Structure 1
Amino acid sequence: MRILITGRQGQVGTCLTEKLSHEASFEVLALTKTELDITDQARVNEVVYDFSPNIIINAAAYTAVDKAEEQVQLAYGINRDGPSYLAKVSQQIGATLLHISTDYVFDGNKLEEYVETDATKPLGIYGQSKLAGELAVAEFCEKHIILRTSWVFGEYGNNFVKTMLRIGAVREQLNIVGDQFGGPTYAGDIADSLIEIAKKIEKDNEIPYGVYHFSGLPQLSWYEFADFIFEQASAQGVITSKPILGKISTEEYPTLAKRPANSRLKVDKLTESFSIEASNWKAAMSDLKKYIG
């Protein structure tokens, strides 16, 4: 079983590459953006035909939510066109495409958790470009899994946990948005989920293709998430003292792009289809020293 990974240096791509290096049954080709720019269709076709993977995992994405409002063409190139090229060549060679998407395809106005069949209505360019990528994958590749996730963090790349630890080390007080809610999701758990799906594909021809949600429990606000991070960081000696936190509204913290107020994703479909449970994000924060640097 051959697996091609795009976006090797991203949060999920790095975890995938490391974890799959211990899986003897898979032959893995993991490529960085420099090695495979997914917006270059000719290069995508060249790499895929040469390696002839059974599974392609697209971990490449444009994730700068605010910058996307200004870099529209670049965001769509990476989030829509790249997945479209991967989907088309996957269909041509009979490969399965596993594609990572986001909670930002929703507007966040629903009161309950979002399920896969809920209407999409992204608020900004990032979400719109990711939704366009989803639609392209579904249109051009019959054998596809779209995995929507939220609030991704991990030891690699830039994320909320690493930012809080960096700021918390030098600030005695800071304000955090308290009216946006979601499920933090550990990048390593996303990687594990994709690997479990790949193993099922390896063993079973009857795969329930389509859209799935994967995120963490318990769900909470950014304010509550930050509070937990600082509680743990203080207890683990990562910071000398816990900063004083103030809770502010979204309106009090204006950003270029609008964020969904509700990013809570229901993961039952993934659990029922692949026996994959929600991300245990608290367990992933038992050693916060890994997130420093």
Structure 2
Amino acid sequence: MNPILVTGARGQVGVEVCEKLLILGYKVIACGHSDLDITSENEVSSLFESTPISLVINCAAYTAVDKAEDEEKAAYAVNALGPKNLALECKERDIPLIHISTDYVYDNGKTGLHTENEGTGTRCVYGKTKLFGERFILDSGVRAVILRASWIFGRYGKNFVKAMANLAASRDSLKVVCDEFGNPTPARALADDICYIADSILNDSCTDFGVYNYCGYPSIVRNDFARVILDKAREIGMLSHDVEVHPITSEEFGAKAKRPADSRMNSDKFANTFRRDLPDWRLYLEETLRGL
């Protein structure tokens, strides 16, 4: 079987995906930005012309949400044009594609659990560029599974869990927003399920292409998420003092990008289609903290 191409292979999900694929016995072409610039149509085309590929997993993304407000062209290139380039090459060669999107497409004013059937909307550059990426993939006609994931954290790379632990190490109080409601998602669980889908596609047992919500459970408010993280850090001996979490509003925090106030997702479509249990994110905190 031809190898699987993994883009964004040095990111927190990409590393996990590559590790899992190798454990499953697949050959992997692991590409970070320095190996393959997915924003370059010529580079992508050249790779596909010279290398036999059985499936593409796109983990590449511009994820600096606030920075994207000042670097819209760069965010658009990675989050929109990159997926477009991959999708068009995959379509031409009948290669299936798995792509990671975001819960930020649900900043549409609705509250409660969002489903794939409702309209999308977003107020920040990051969300808009990710939504463009989704649309380019769907418009290409490629056989694709798009997973809208939220609040990803894991052993590799930068994420909210590590940031809270690092800040708490030298402080006795933290200010964390109290008006963002969502679902933390463990990178390793996401990677395991991506690889399950990949395996199903390559063994011709998956025909359910389309857009799916994917997230951990339970839902939680951002400042309470911080408290759970710090409690776990104390429990495993990584934090020796108490740290008080002070709730503040997003407006008070002053972030440049407008994030969704309620991006909780209903992932029943994913669970029922692929017959997979969604992860309890609390079970992945310790391994993430020890990743520091």
TM range (shorter): over 0.9
Q: Is contact 1:176–1:222 with CA below 8 Å preserved after alignment?
A: yes
2:33 aligned with 1:21: no
CA distance in 1, matches of 2:284, 2:199: 23
Alpha carbons of 1:38 and 1:287: their partners in 2 closer, same or farther (altered >3 Å)? Answer: closer
User: Deviation at 1:141?
Assistant: 3.5
TM-score (norm 2): 0.97
1:50-71 Cα deviation digits (max 9, x unpaired): 2221210000000111111110
* 3-state SS in 2 of match to 1:204: coil
Distance 1:249 1:29, change over 3 A: same
Aligned to 1:248: 248
Q: Deviations over 1:99-143 (max 9, x none)?
A: 100011121521211111111111111100000000000011330
The residue that corresponds to 2:106 in the other structure is 106
Contact 2:154 2:288 in 1 (8 A): no
Separation (CA, whole Å) in 2 of partners of 1:275 and 1:176 = 36
- How far is the alpha carbon of 1:200 from its aligned partner? 1.1
Q: Aligned letter for 1:121?
A: G
* Secondary structure of 2:233 counterpart: helix
Offset of residue 242 of structure 1? 2.4
SS at match of 1:247: strand
Letter in 1 for 2:60: A
The runs of at least 4 consecutive aligned structure 1 residues that moved more than 4 Å come to none
Structure 2: distance between partners of 1:206 and 1:111: 32
Q: Name the aligned partner's letter for residue 64 of structure 2.
A: A
Residues 32-77 of structure 1, C-alpha deviation per residue, up to 9 Å, x if partnerless?
A: 1100010111111111232221210000000111111110111110
Gaps of 5+ in 1: none
Residue type of the partner of 1:124?
A: C
Q: Distance in 1 between matches of 2:131 and 2:196?
A: 24
**1:97–1:141 Cα contact (<8 Å) kept:** no
Q: Which amino acid aligns with 2:152?
A: V
Aligned to 1:154: 154
Show the counterpart of 2:195: 195
Give the paired residue count.
291
Partner of 1:260: 260
Query: Take 1:267 and 1:12, find their aligned partners in 2: how far apart are those partners?
Result: 19
Unaligned runs of 5+ in 2: none
AA of the residue aligned to 1:115: T
Moved more, 84-93 or 241-250: 241-250
Give the structure 2 partner of residue 5 of structure 1: 6
User: In structure 2, what is the Cα distance between the partners aligned to 1:54 and 1:288?
Assistant: 31
Q: 1:37 corresponds to which residue?
A: 37
1:14/1:288 CA distance change after superposition, 3 Å: closer
Name the residue aligned to 1:66: 66
Q: Are the equivalent residues in 2 in contact too, given 1:52–1:93 (CA < 8 A)?
A: no
Deviation of 1:290 after TM superposition, in Å, equals 2.1
- Equivalent position amino acid for 1:163 in 2: A
> Residues 55 and 95 of structure 1 are in contact (CA less than 8 Å); yes or no, is this contact kept in structure 2?
yes
Query: Aligned letter for 1:7?
Result: G
Q: Secondary structure at the match of 2:247?
A: strand
Matched, 1:174 2:197: no
How far off is 1:289 after superposition?
4.3
Check if 1:134 corresponds to 2:134: yes
Aligned partner of 2:235: which letter? A
> CA–CA distance in 1 between the matches of 2:125 and 2:202?
36
What's 1:239 paired with?
239
CA RMSD of superposed structures (Å):
1.2
Farther-moved stretch of structure 1 (97-106 vs 244-253) = 244-253
Cα gap change, 1:160 to 1:289, in 2 (>3 Å)? closer
The amino acid of 1:63's aligned partner reads T
- Check conservation: 2:88, 2:140, Cα contact below 8 A: yes
Structure 2 distance, partners of 1:273, 1:108, is 26
- Contact 1:161/1:291, CA 8 A, preserved across alignment: no
Query: What fraction of aligned residue pairs are identical, expressed as a percent?
Result: 38
Q: Is the 8 A contact 2:147 2:214 kept in 1?
A: yes
In structure 2, the residue corresponding to 1:286 is in which secondary structure?
Answer: helix
Residues in 1 aligned to 2:152 and 2:287: alpha-carbon distance in whole angstroms: 17
Secondary structure of the corresponding residue to residue 176 of structure 2: strand
Distance 1:204 1:105 in 2: 30
Q: Whole-Å Cα distance in 1 between the matches of residues 176 and 170 of structure 2?
A: 16
The equivalent of 1:273 in structure 2 is 273
Q: What CA distance in whole angstroms lies between the structure 2 residues aligned with 1:231 and 1:79?
A: 35
